[in-house]
Amino acid sequence: MTTALTDLSDIEIRRYGYDCAVADSIAEVCKLCFADPWSREAVESTLRAEQNYVVAADGGKMGFAAASLAFDTADILDIAVHPEARRRGIGRAMLSHLLKLLRENGAKSVFLEVRVSNEGAIALYSSAGFKPCGIRKNYYTSPREDAALYVLEFTEV
Ligand SMILES: CC(C)(COP(=O)(O)OP(=O)(O)OC[C@H]1O[C@@H](n2cnc3c(N)ncnc32)[C@H](O)[C@@H]1OP(=O)(O)O)[C@@H](O)C(=O)NCCC(=O)NCCS
């Protein structure tokens, strides 16, 4: 992937359903971003599931953000930006697009878990209006770590 990005407006950020190339790209980004990444099969089933919303940047090559929605409650499943494309606003733009879709489709609350040490992601979520609402002890493996729980109530924003 090229690092010679010009402007955020040159990057296509939109919702995707299942598409083979998109699933390949998202699986590749997962491998680069997580110690315990989603498999290609997990990415495919995430894209295929009707209750899920998957937003991706340039067909997943630059990153993705995924959530599931049940009635009025949504959960952020994951968000990742290709390591060479970070700190250019792509994470924020994908999250904002995802939250807009969730709200338009009936979400009143959006929950997420994040490693307590993941300061970058926590800063991103906080800037989007998420508030801390609990800790899940030893939630993560590889390495073992607590999860911080966050919630965004759309009535408050
Ligand atoms: C978290 C992540 C998605 C952010 O993507 P990004 O495109 O780099 O984020 P943005 O450029 O949109 O940044 C938006 C804001 O988030 C915060 N932020 C993002 N990365 C940060 C970092 N490394 N350190 C501190 N703050 C950070 C900043 O407030 C930033 O605003 P600013 O650039 O105006 O200061 C990206 O770092 C990533 O893929 N990390 C690995 C995967 C991961 O941890 N996912 C979260 C799982 S819960």
| Domain spans in the chain, listed from the N-terminal domain onward | 9-156
Any idea which residues carry the catalytic annotation? 113, 125
The Cα-based distances of 58 to 8, 50, 128 in angstroms read 11, 22, 22
Spell out the per-residue pLDDT of the chain, length 157, in tens: 655 555 788 899 999 999 999 999 999 999 999 989 999 999 999 999 999 999 999 999 999 999 999 999 999 999 999 999 999 999 999 999 999 999 999 999 999 999 999 999 999 999 999 999 999 999 999 899 999 999 999 985 5
- Please tell me the predicted confidence (pLDDT) of residue 4: 55
Pocket of ligand 1 (CB under 6 A): 33, 78-81, 86-92, 114, 118-121, 123-124, 127
DSSP codes of every residue in 43-58 = HHHHHH-TTEEEEEEG
- H helices of the chain, in order, are 20-33, 40-48, 90-104, 119-127
Q: How far is the CA of 79 from the centre of ligand 1 (A)?
A: 10
CATH architecture of 9-156: 3-Layer(aba) Sandwich (3.40)
Closest residue to atom 42 of ligand 1, CA basis: 80
Instruction: Say if CB 128 and CB 103 are below 8 A apart.
Output: no
Q: Are 46 and 40 in contact (CB under 8 A)?
A: no
For the chain, state the CA radius of gyration. Answer: 15
